[in-house]
């Protein structure tokens, strides 16, 4: 029987050469970007539920609108902006969230209140019926904003695009965002962040330590 003692190091204690070896090993063996597409796919499904569109035959990042009436798909400019606002406002926007802490309970049908013993205050929570905001309204994930960004920009400044063109722009916007995110996940910067977050340990030459 023999006992071998090995010194282990945190990532930031390694030499530059050893750090690069650790980064390359992570990139080639452990890096998984599939989860971003799973989350984005849920956003696309919710998008189709709102707008009545369908996934393309070749990819869920494509869109089909052929089953929707041409008179709707050909809307553009201010008429389209008005149509979107009238038909999809409640799906795209929600009332701004407020949390007012005070010594008094606010009694109102829209307000939910909770008493906090520690601070000796009421927490009064409500969503505004006047001030609207759009922050991840489909699923709560950031990809909601990516797919809906063309629509929000259009509502701020209507242009000559048709509804069909605008919906296609939404899927293209999400696709571009996913590719940018995937490219970033492969960078040394992103991998270093993951290594340090997980507090992996290494031998002096940059090999992962397994106890």
pLDDT tens sequence across 64-83: 999 999 999 999 999 999 99
Q: Is the pLDDT of residue 113 over 70?
A: no
pLDDT, one tens digit per residue, over 7-24 is 898 999 999 999 999 999
Quote the pTM value: 0.75
Angle separating helix axes 188-198 and 163-185, nearest 10 degrees: 60
Burial code of 44-67, b = ≥16 C-beta within 10 A, e = fewer? bebbbeebebebeeeeebebebee
CA-CA distance, 139 to 132, in Å (whole number)?
Answer: 17
Q: How many helices (H) and strands (E) does the chain have?
A: 7, 7
CA-CA distance, 53 to 15, in Å (whole number)?
Answer: 53
């Amino acid at each position: 029987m023999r006992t071998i003692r090995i010194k282990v190091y945190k990532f930031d204690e390694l030499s530059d050469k050893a750090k690069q070896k650790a980064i390359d090993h992570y990139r080639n063996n452990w890096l998984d970007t599939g989860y971003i597409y799973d989350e984005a796919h849920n956003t696309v499904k919710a998008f189709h539920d709102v707008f009545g569109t369908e996934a393309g035959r070749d990819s869920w990042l494509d869109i089909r609108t052929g089953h929707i009436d041409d008179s709707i798909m050909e809307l553009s400019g201010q008429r389209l902006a008005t149509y979107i606002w009238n038909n999809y406002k409640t799906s795209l926007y929600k009332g701004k969230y407020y949390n007012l802490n005070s010594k008094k309970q606010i009694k109102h049908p829209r307000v939910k209140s909770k008493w906090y013993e520690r601070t000796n205050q009421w927490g009064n929570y409500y969503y505004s019926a006047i001030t609207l905001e759009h922050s991840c309204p489909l699923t709560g994930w950031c990809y909601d904003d990516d797919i809906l960004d063309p629509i929000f920009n259009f509502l701020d400044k209507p242009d000559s695009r048709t509804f069909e063109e605008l919906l296609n722009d939404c899927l293209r916007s999400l696709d571009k965002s996913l590719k940018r995110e995937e490219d970033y996940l492969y960078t040394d910067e992103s991998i270093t962040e993951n290594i340090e977050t997980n507090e992996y340990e290494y031998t002096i030459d940059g090999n992962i330590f397994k106890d």
